[in-house]
Amino acid sequence: MAAKEKTGNAFVETIKTIVYALVIAGIFRTLFFQPFWIPSGSMKETLLIGDFLFVNKMAYGYSYASCPSVIIPRFGVNIDAKDICGVFDGDNKRLFGSEPERGDVAVFRHPVSGRDYIKRLIGLPGDTVQVTQGVISINGTPVELRDDGVFEEAMERQGPQGMRPRCENGAIGEGGICMKSRQIETLPNGVEHAILNIGDQASDNTGVYTVPDGQYFFMGDNRDNSADSRLAQQAGGVGFVPFENLIGRADRIVFSSGGRSMLFFWTWRSDRFFKAIK
């Protein structure tokens, strides 16, 4: 009997340890930092497919969106933040709230689908934003742009979804060099960052957007390959993003995998360890 009791106690202690670890991890993820793996190329070259980072949740305070979503389609798991913290949804307020700054790279919940997105904050509440021939105007003043060469990458499948990049230099065969025009954009508060362009398209010319109170306007740095606030939610875009939907600010890349899985350590990019996000 003693051996059985010992085995039983060991099993119970193991279960307790796992539960405690999960609780601590859940609290850490909810209050401090949330891991995020870049799945698409909408923020190139600032963020590449396969970049792994932690989102600083303390930067903007806490709302219902601070609760983690657990989505694992392979196992049929789909627990949304609203399922856990939906009682706090609806007032567009935050606990210990802090206003984001123009130029921040932020993770937020899509206002309709609830999926996590990462984009750059361009328009603040009350701003007018318009894109004309690919140039952003904020409150009627075009942002400063300067040409800065080209961005090059191999034409090959990227990330677990196996997506191929779009290229400015036309149809490129497997293994060829895919190029995009690169510019440095300076926002009104002095934040500088690289943007990429592929060619002329509808999103390069928009009407005037007036950002409502308590909401924000986001765009991807890979301007011709980003579903963002330029496109209405009904049309598959992001539209305006409420303050309460912000999850946190992306400050630094931890590591980056150039392969189909972040576990393939031999594909990790040596120049992106702990790289600051600008």
Q: What does the radius of gyration of the chain's CA atoms come to, in whole angstroms?
A: 21
Contact 256, 277 (CB under 8 A): no
Residues tagged active-site:
42, 119
Torsions phi, psi for 135 (to 5 deg): -105, 130
Strand stretches in 24-100, DSSP E: 33-37, 51-56, 70-72, 77-79
3-state secondary structure of 91: coil
Torsions phi, psi for 100 (to 5 deg): -70, 160
**Listed residue (255, 196, 185, 259) closest to 224, CA to CA:** 196
As a dihedral over the C-alpha atoms of residue 227, residue 232, residue 236, residue 238, rounded to 10 degrees, the angle is: 50
Contact 205, 223 (CB under 8 A): no
**Listed residue (178, 182, 180) closest to 154, CA to CA:** 178
Rounded CA-CA distance 161/155 in Å is 15
As a dihedral over the C-alpha atoms of residue 79, residue 106, residue 201, residue 205, rounded to 10 degrees, the angle is: 120
Q: Which residues of 6-29 are buried (b: 16+ CB within 10 A; e: fewer)?
A: eeeeeeeeeeeeeeeeeeeeeeeb
**Listed residue (159, 158, 157, 155) closest to 175, CA to CA:** 155
